[in-house]
Amino acid sequence: MKIESLEDLREDFIGEKRVHIFNAGPAALPLSVLREVQEHFLNFRGSGMSITEISHRSTLFEEVINDAIDRTRRLLKLSDDYHVLFIQGGASLQFCMIPMNLALPGRPVTYINTGVWSTKATKEAHVQGKDVRVIPAPEDTDFSSLPTDFTVDKQSSYLHFTSNNTIKGTQWQQFPDAQGVPLISDMSSDFMSRPFDVRPFGLIYAGAQKNLGPPGVAVVIIREDMLKRVPDTLPTMLKYTTYRDKKSLFNTPPTFAIYVIDLVLTWLEETIGGLTEMEKVNKEKASLIYEVIDESEIYQGVAEVNSRSMMNVAFRLPDEKLEQSFLAEAGNNGFKGLRGHRSVGGCRASLYNAVTIDSVKSLATFMREFEEKS
Amino acid sequence: MKIESLEDLREDFIGEKRVHIFNAGPAALPLSVLREVQEHFLNFRGSGMSITEISHRSTLFEEVINDAIDRTRRLLKLSDDYHVLFIQGGASLQFCMIPMNLALPGRPVTYINTGVWSTKATKEAHVQGKDVRVIPAPEDTDFSSLPTDFTVDKQSSYLHFTSNNTIKGTQWQQFPDAQGVPLISDMSSDFMSRPFDVRPFGLIYAGAQKNLGPPGVAVVIIREDMLKRVPDTLPTMLKYTTYRDKKSLFNTPPTFAIYVIDLVLTWLEETIGGLTEMEKVNKEKASLIYEVIDESEIYQGVAEVNSRSMMNVAFRLPDEKLEQSFLAEAGNNGFKGLRGHRSVGGCRASLYNAVTIDSVKSLATFMREFEEKS
């Protein structure tokens, strides 16, 4: 489809009363998934009940959660020594659970600090009195670039990093060299956006509300050897072993969120064709916007070029007044969620998996048109 | 509407392909609520986005969560010193958070043990090494009745009890006398089913998936003075003060679940007319089934008469074979969720708020017809 102007694309969206969603999270979901949820909402698989009413102990729901686990395993090519868990509380509860479960007695924990989310994760290790080592981001770049050269204490219980930083829009294109220490990553904002080698990872976690589904659940992938560290003395709901032993069904899980995740994973496998295909699309989407920025006189990218994120493109305009007028006009044209994080301002286009290439092309066209006029 | 036979009622339900839902949780939701969710699922309040896609920091969502809080306050007539919080992890995470946040140093915590859920709550206080005092259920009744006469250690940090016990189907018709100690109650299975005086309570909590909405969130009502006990040293996501200070928006909350809760509370206030009206309906529903049991030669109630629950009617048939045939035939006639808890077997009809009186009348008729035939 060749896009000549914004008008070529807008028609369809208005026909569906749907806007272009560039939200940072909760974020866009595939329209086909939303339609499926809607169609079957009163009668889940012929049960005569809504998905929100069926028992988490029913065969019907077991099929859903098992399918979600199997698809996760296939998409990430997980070997048998990895477990896929669903845990409530989002990435923020993982910030607490990780040091609680996985810090080894008398050994430090190491965090790479690349922004607000890494800082929050680190804080929870401090709160628990762990011996925390921090690898800082490059000085004076205000988190707009990632560290390249650092040494990890070999005694570290783990090396924690944030794979994608939503606020400034940076992303590890190559994961940090863990130097023999188990890697742990908060992948909330780029999980399932590209293929990667899981083997260096002891644990990966992702709040669902960017690439996977609605908020209210985190997917946690944990390697069996890490589970041996879990202290017996922890509260039941805060032990990773509880979720492994009970297959994430110790208590009632967020059934609706897991159901939507299963539909999104189905879309990812069957409609998109897997993570290699997804990455191609995501790269194309990101390059469409970065191209506009790189050719522009008014848009300035926030992240340094080598650290740029495929998921979140943060940019500024020359002054706040122009930013406000850009955001307002974008909103009037059906482009939503472009305001930068409340902690930094500016603009940001989040291009998660479910944001369509048509939406991104429309935005690129809009950005060019806005620049021409201004 | 006079019900002559099962056939009179079944028609409508088959027309809607909807079954009679007696699930113990997740459980029935009001059909009008489900229809509203479905109708607007692709376009929430004209935003052009699904409720699952909108930002938790948007005005749209703030309206939802604030409305849910306001309705909770009105329905329970809460004074200003109570806070309404939404916390992920269900009642099971509350089992952990309560002793962690509210046990006073050097003072015991007291639990009334009336069944499986109380036992689980107590266990989490033990895990944390608290000085736990347990008030047992009457001996030799196997949790089919509630304790009536007991003394509470005045030094107790709190007195915890489970207001309704889903497995054996017992319920406190009058709450235990706390003897000056702050009351804490797990009201997961009868919250919002009847009016009550909140003032003796320091904290009330309820997993949503019985009377309030889909699973994935607990409503916690906490009195300001209890928040003074929260130790500064707790992980951020495990402190009640975090949820008060950030109005349950420290991190991304389960937006969909809170949205459905708001719709259910709207239904409760505006369609049902409040908790006094809801209690009338619930009493009528329960008495329809207990009447069948009391007049029957084959159905035997599990709970002692004085401890009977309005929410969960547990009953047995003379032998397991007859139970199986009852459950099978009930299932074929559209009565779902009647199997007793996997830990005890037998039968159980859960009659939560959203179970309609017509469903209950149909079940009573079916039970009578089944007895006549057998």
Is the CB of A215 less than 8 angstroms away from the CB of B253?
Answer: yes
Asked if the structure places residue A35 within a domain, the reply is: no
Residues B140, B90 share a domain: yes
Residues A12, A61 share a domain: no
| Residue A252 sits in the same domain as residue A284 | no
Q: What is the pLDDT of residue A343?
A: 83
Task: Let me know if residue B1 belongs to a domain.
Answer: no
Q: Residue A45: its pLDDT value, please?
A: 95
Contacts of B216 in chain A (CB under 8 A): 88, 216-217, 253-257
Residue A309 banded pLDDT, cuts 50, 70, 90: very high
Final residue belonging to a domain, choices B220, B241, B270: B270
Interface probe with B: pick from A256, A261, A348, most Cβ of B within 10 Å: A256
CATH assignment at residue A107? 3.40.640.10
Residue A358, pLDDT above cutoff 50: yes
Chain A residue with CA closest to B29: the answer is: A53
Position B344 scores a pLDDT of 84
Q: Do A89 and B93 touch (CB under 8 A)?
A: yes
What's chain A's Rg over C-alpha atoms?
21
Do A75 and A196 lie in one domain? The reply is yes
pLDDT single digits (tens) A208-236? 999 999 999 999 999 999 999 999 999 99
Give the pLDDT of residue A13. 46
Contacts of B214 in chain A (CB under 8 A): 52, 254-256
Measured CA distances, B284 to B13, B190, B311 (Å)? 21, 15, 11
A285-297 pLDDT per residue, tens? 999 999 999 999 9
Output the pLDDT for position B141: 86
B195: domain range?
44-270
For A26, the closest of B19, B27, B53 (CB atoms) is B53
What does the block give as tokens for A131?
């011996």
In-domain check, residue A131: yes
Is residue A240 within 8 Å of residue A84, measured between CB atoms? no
Count of residues making up chain A: 374
When pLDDT is cut at 50, 70 and 90, the band that residue A16 belongs to is low
Q: Is B186 a catalytic residue?
A: yes
Task: Tell me whether the omega of the peptide bond preceding residue B26 falls within 30 degrees of 0, making it cis.
Answer: yes
Chain A residues inside the 8 Å CB shell of B241: none
Residue B223 region, left (φ>0) first, then alpha (ψ -120 to 50), else beta? beta
Assess whether A165 and A280 both reside in one domain. no
Q: Give me the number of domains chain A comprises.
A: 2
Question: Is B128 contained in some domain?
Answer: yes
Which residues on chain B are in Cβ contact (under 8 Å) with A233? 127
Residues of B in contact with A90 (CB under 8 A): 88, 251-252
Residue B36 maps to a domain: no
| A293 lies in the same domain as A265 | no
Only one residue has tokens 């006549």, namely B372
Residues B283 and B265 in one domain: no
Question: End of a domain among A221, A243, A270?
Answer: A270
Compare CB distances from B236 to A25, A124, A260 and report the shortest one's residue: A124
- Residues of A whose CB is below 8 A from B100: 235
User: Given this model, what pLDDT does residue A87 score?
Assistant: 98
Residue B297 C-alpha, separation from nearest chain A C-alpha, in angstroms: 31
Of A130, A168, A190, A210, which residue is the catalytic one? A210
- Identity of the residue in B48, B233, B235 whose CB atom sits nearest the CB atom of A96: B235
Residue B92 belongs to a domain: yes
Indicate whether B21 and B149 sit together in one domain: no
| Rounded Cα gap, residues A257 and B216, in angstroms | 8
pLDDT digits (tens, 9 = 90+) for A176-217: 999 999 999 999 999 999 999 999 999 999 999 999 999 999
Residue B244, exposed/middle/buried by CB under 10 A (0-12, 13-18, 19+)?
middle
* Overall pTM surpassing 0.90 (yes/no): yes
Q: Which residue of B has its CA nearest to A236?
A: B124
Interface contact B23-A55, CB threshold 8 A = yes
Nearest to B41 among A41, A48, A236 (CB): A41
| Closest among A8, A63, A78, A104 to A361, alpha carbons compared | A8
* Domain co-membership, A60 together with A152: yes
pLDDT at B218: 98
A250 and B37 within 8 Å at the Cβ level: the answer is no
Residue A21: CATH number of its domain: 3.90.1150.10
> What's the rounded mean pLDDT across residues A88-101?
98
The reply to whether A218 and A146 lie within a common domain is: yes
What's chain A's average pLDDT? Answer: 94
Regions of chain B where pLDDT drops below 70: 1-16
Q: Check whether A1 has a pLDDT greater than 70.
A: no
The answer to whether residue B117 is catalytic is yes
| Section A69-78 average pLDDT | 98
What pLDDT score was predicted for residue B5? 46
Q: Are residues B247 and B292 in the same domain?
A: no
Question: Of A270, A304, A322, which marks where a domain is finished?
Answer: A270
pLDDT at residue B139, rounded to an integer: 86
CB A89 to CB B88 under 8 A?
Answer: yes
A297 min Cα distance to partner chain B (Å): 31
Asked whether residue B38 is domain-assigned, the answer is: no
| Same domain for A124 and A64 | yes
Query: Is B168 among the residues known to form the active site?
Result: no
What's the gap in Å between the CA of B236 and the closest CA on chain A? 7
Chain centroid offset of residue B166 CA: 9
ipTM: 0.95
Record: contact A52-B128, CB cut-off 8 A: no
